Chains A and B, each alone.
Chain A
Amino acid sequence: MNRPATEFKERIQRALDDPQIRTNFRRAMDGLMAKRAAMFPDADELEQLRDLGAAVRRNALARLPGLLEKLEANCQRNGIIVHWAESVAEANAIVLDIVRKHGGKSVIKGKSMVSEEMELNHHLEAHGIEALESDLGEYIVQLAGETPSHIIMPAIHKNTRQIAELFVEKLDGVEFTEDAEALTAIARGLLRRKFLDADVGLSGVNFAVAETGTLCLIENEGNGRLTTTAPDVHVAVTGIEKVVETLDDITPLLSLLPRSATGQGITTYVNMISGPRKQGERDGPREVHLVLLDNGRTTSYVDPELRTTLQCIRCGACMNHCPVYARIGGHAYGTVYPGPIGEILSPQLLGCDEAGALPGASTLCGACGEVCPVRIPIPKMLVRLRREAVTRDAASPVKDAGAQRSTSEALIWKAWARIHAVPGLYSLVTRTASAFKKMPVVGPLKAWSSVRTPPRVAGRTLHQRMAARGSTK
């Protein structure tokens, strides 16, 4: 097992040993599953909507290069400045450059998973620029010096008491209260001033509409609207896969995303931005920038099967329904994107050396594939990436393919194949095994049987039994 895989295992163990994490996630995931189910009472309608959602995303991906050019042209026509970045480093440099050009000292942020992917906050702070999260969950996570444990609900791993203690510890003049309303009011009060003073607002993008050059953002708190409206400059960062062809295309995605994510019919705000402040308009940023990030996405795009990962609209339903995620929580994965989608996305973004063990953290129960609103075949992809992780192939589109390969495991499977291909050998091995009565509890079987009863070996092989039965006839 390589170092990242070993550390992954250690993090899983720590999470499993932490009753607080287990309690927080169990309660949250149960609630989210029930809410989602209640929002889709008509199974036929849901399946038709998923068909449409998947068709919209597949259409966008099939035409991706053309649509990106169209998006760029229409954004530029609308006055949005478009930037392209192949890597996280390039994207960070672009954002830093924009902030500096405006003499910026502070950036207020709306929720953006791509900015987490970029570790943008660290990059800006390393250059003396304050980057402040304004989504309440992200704000809590930032105060605690942590990373989000869920892509939609970043602070889901904390309970109210932990948040109350954090506020007392980190914020001046705050008295301990476990009242969620009071805690929310404290954050609102502190951030209000920040929205006024920030030079640059930074956000993600949920859907970018090629035909109109529109950036579509959804949220509940209003921080996203403030971030994209109050400061003089708005910078939106997004992965190149977020484009859709037409304005019509956003309607099924808007219908699916909030219901799948949090069991809401719609988010409080849907914010469609098609340019900076125009002549005569009284507010809104004077400059809007769009940063299109690749960071490994074009590599996935080349492989038709891996490409399906790019259909993702980041609802988190696969996490909410995953029996593994519900028990270990988001931090155990050690990656920006946790849960089933993270298990298939992370090896593609980071490579099999860094994240090749992640697809193993699944029971292959299929729940993720069943709830995915855009029909990403996640279970099939988990199997594919498990294979990529242990198969050395220089031509593989997945970085560091085969990095998780273990010589002993490979030998065992080779022997297994040989035994099953040669009848005489098969007979010899099964007879010998049955003579042992008990399986040797070593290696993987030792770990496996630490929480399970080890299987007993039958006293006689199936062949022996059948032979015996045949002789009595």
Chain B
Amino acid sequence: MSARDNILARLRVAPGSGATPGVRDFGVIEALEWTPAERAERLVRLLRSVNTEVHETTQATWPGLLRELCVAKGVGRLCLAPVTPVGAAASEALAGSGVATLAYDRDIEAWREELFFEVDAGLTAVTAGIAETGSLFVVPTPDEPRLLSLVPPVHFAVLSRAVIANTLLEVLRAQGYGATMPTNVLLISGPSKTADIEQTLVYGVHGPNQLVVLLTD
């Protein structure tokens, strides 16, 4: 008998194993509802409460704002996905700004050192916002890989007001993942932080020390 068989066999003989317990009533979460304006206000307030820089901007003007912010923050190299609408708009706006853009178009093995030590910022789109907790629902893709929102010290995230949902439950149900989840799904709620030294809150540990959200219409 394998460990697996032994474990499952012990569980199966237990009294009450396999019983159908009462239903789970998600009403307490489903009841969390706000108007679109309230959702945006709540998301912005909660993100700011954990040191996130949120800029309320528009579809037309965010690339220009990104350019200003990159220059102001001294970002020399910004990694983005030029093939996506967000990445394309940013590339165009940054042309001639002195901020170099580069794509994450190689496997990590080919440029690990460079990504870890020579990229100042990463830019990603955001699939949805979550008003309840002030979170960005981010789904990494081949164009915007997992480390893009994690390794560079500054993470720029572009989020449209139109996709701010009430709760994570609502987002998960709307995505309708069923049995097929993407390789990685993330909720990001602020820059990385720790309070492990005598509960003193410090921002910027192993992840970005700045999260900059460009909230568009």
**Which A residues lie at the B interface, using CB under 8 A?**
24, 27-28, 31, 45, 48-49, 51-52, 55-56, 58-59, 62-66, 68-69, 72, 74, 77-78, 84-86, 90, 134-137, 140, 153-156, 158-160, 163, 180-181, 183-185, 187-188, 191-192, 195-196, 211-214, 220-223, 225-226, 229-230, 240, 247-249, 251-252, 254-255, 262, 265-278, 280-284, 292, 294, 298-299, 301-302, 304, 307
Is B21's CB under 8 angstroms from A267's CB?
Answer: no
Q: Which residue of A lies closest to B28 (CB)?
A: A48
Is B142's CB under 8 angstroms from A155's CB?
Answer: no
Is A281's CB under 8 angstroms from B206's CB?
Answer: no
Is B8's CB under 8 angstroms from A69's CB?
Answer: yes
Known: A268-B193, A284-B184. A158 touches B198 (CB 8 A): yes
Is A272's CB under 8 angstroms from B150's CB?
Answer: no
Is B28's CB under 8 angstroms from A304's CB?
Answer: no
B74-101 interface with A by 8 A CB criterion: none
Q: Which residue of B lies closest to A138 (CB)?
A: B196
Instruction: Report the minimal beta-carbon distance from A277 to chain B, rounded to whole angstroms.
Output: 7
Q: Which residue of A lies closest to B137 (CB)?
A: A270
Is B22's CB under 8 angstroms from A64's CB?
Answer: no
Contacts between the two chains (Cβ within 8 Å), count: 260
Q: Which residue of A lies closest to B107 (CB)?
A: A282
Instruction: Report the minimal beta-carbon distance from A112 to chain B, rounded to whole angstroms.
Output: 16
Is A266's CB under 8 angstroms from B172's CB?
Answer: no
Is A240's CB under 8 angstroms from B7's CB?
Answer: yes
Find B193's partner among A59, A221, A270, A273 (CB 8 Å cutoff). A221
B136-190 interface with A by 8 A CB criterion: 142, 145-147, 150-151, 167-169, 172-173, 177-190
Binds A, one of B10-18, B33-41, B55-63, B118-126: B10-18
Find A248's partner among B172, B184, B187, B208 (CB 8 Å cutoff). B172
Q: Does B72 contact A (CB under 8 A)?
A: no
Instruction: Report the minimal beta-carbon distance from B176 to chain A, rounded to whole angstroms.
Output: 10
Is B168's CB under 8 angstroms from A274's CB?
Answer: no
Is A196's CB under 8 angstroms from B116's CB?
Answer: yes
Q: Which residue of A lies closest to B10 (CB)?
A: A298
Is A251's CB under 8 angstroms from B26's CB?
Answer: yes
What is the interface of chain A mostly: helix, strand, loop, or mixed?
helix
Of listed B46, B184, B189, B206, residue having the most chain A CB within 10 A: B206
Is B24's CB under 8 angstroms from A273's CB?
Answer: no
Is B199's CB under 8 angstroms from A62's CB?
Answer: no
A residues in contact with B190, CB < 8 Å: 268
Is B200's CB under 8 angstroms from A160's CB?
Answer: yes
Instruction: Report the minimal beta-carbon distance from A309 to chain B, rounded to whole angstroms.
Output: 14
Is B181's CB under 8 angstroms from A160's CB?
Answer: no
Find B29's partner among A52, A160, A225, A298 (CB 8 Å cutoff). A52
Find B183's partner among A267, A270, A284 (CB 8 Å cutoff). A284
Find A55's partner among B25, B133, B185, B191 (CB 8 Å cutoff). B25
Give Cα A28 to B195, complex, Å. 11
Give Cα A304 to B202, complex, Å. 43
